[in-house]
Amino acid sequence: MNSESNSKTISAAVLFEQALLLLQRFRQQLAIWLEPSHLEQLRPQLGYQAGVLAGFALLAAILLGLADFATRGVIQLRLEEDLQANLEQVIPAELHDNKLLADTLILPSADANLGAAETVVYLAKKQGLVTAVSFKFVAPDGYAGPINIVIGLSRDGDILGVRVISHVETPGLGDKIEIAKSKWVLSFDGKSLDNLTFEQWAVKKDGGVFDQFAGATITPRKVVQAIRRGLEFYRAHQAELLNR
């Protein structure tokens, strides 16, 4: 019994030694192969060139794959934090006791011109009853590009808050739609389709009640129109959402 285990350890040691020897030989071979003079002979060969290109592509693909694998969860978490922060800006904390990100409903919005075929609606609930809703949508026709907006609405469809998440409007002119630059977006608070007529949902230049900016009319006009479309979208699905 004892001698048997002895011979086993001996054979394992031999195997290990052989493996080391092989590894050493492989490293020597690799060192010879990597000699600048040897590589100089290889470089003009077409097969070598294809191999090197493929090798570098493979290396890059492996690196990127590993990095993606290592960071995917973290990035997902960061995006959720961003979304959470956006939703908290438009839905007051005292209106809900649930997790906004967990309580969602996906509605088709292809006809509503909100910039996406489907819109995720986040439901704010207190003791199981829907108190407010929030969703993100896009004004696809901003002056310089799409304007991403998040809106919070009460049960009755009054605006609790509106924020512009991202946009590419002209700095110094159109960027007053950001809360950091101007209080303009606060002028939507409390407005709804009930307390303003369809004609009043426009900038003052078009006969409505909302200010435009000096030197920039298109940006606020498109934001106002998009918010009105958002309200109409809510009204169309109001019954469905409140019964959740």
Partner 1 sequence: MTLATLFSAPYRKIARDGLWDNNVVLTQNLALCPLLAVTGTATNGLGMGLATMAVMIASNAAVSASRHLIPPEIRIPIFVLLIAALVTLVDIFLNAWMHALHKVLGLFIPLIVTNCVILGRAEAFASKQPMLPSVWDGLMMGLGFTLAMVVLGAAREISSAGTLFANASVLLGEGFRFIELTLIPEYKGFLLMALPPGGFIMLGFMVAAKRLIDQRLTKSAEQQIDGLINIEQISELKV
Residue numbers of the site for partner 1 (CB under 8 A)? 34, 36, 39-40, 43-44, 48-49, 52-53, 56-57, 60, 63-64, 67-68, 71, 74-75, 78, 81-82, 170-173
Q: Compare residues 10 and 75 and give the one whose CB is closer to partner 1.
A: 75
Shortest Å distance, C-beta 227 to partner 1: 24
Tokens read off for 189: 């608070």
Q: Compare residues 51 and 108 and give the one whose CB is closer to partner 1.
A: 51
Shortest Å distance, C-beta 187 to partner 1: 22
Shortest Å distance, C-beta 49 to partner 1: 5
Shortest Å distance, C-beta 116 to partner 1: 20
Shortest Å distance, C-beta 34 to partner 1: 7
Q: Compare residues 13 and 75 and give the one whose CB is closer to partner 1.
A: 75
Q: Compare residues 174 and 230 and give the one whose CB is closer to partner 1.
A: 174
Q: Compare residues 15 and 54 and give the one whose CB is closer to partner 1.
A: 54
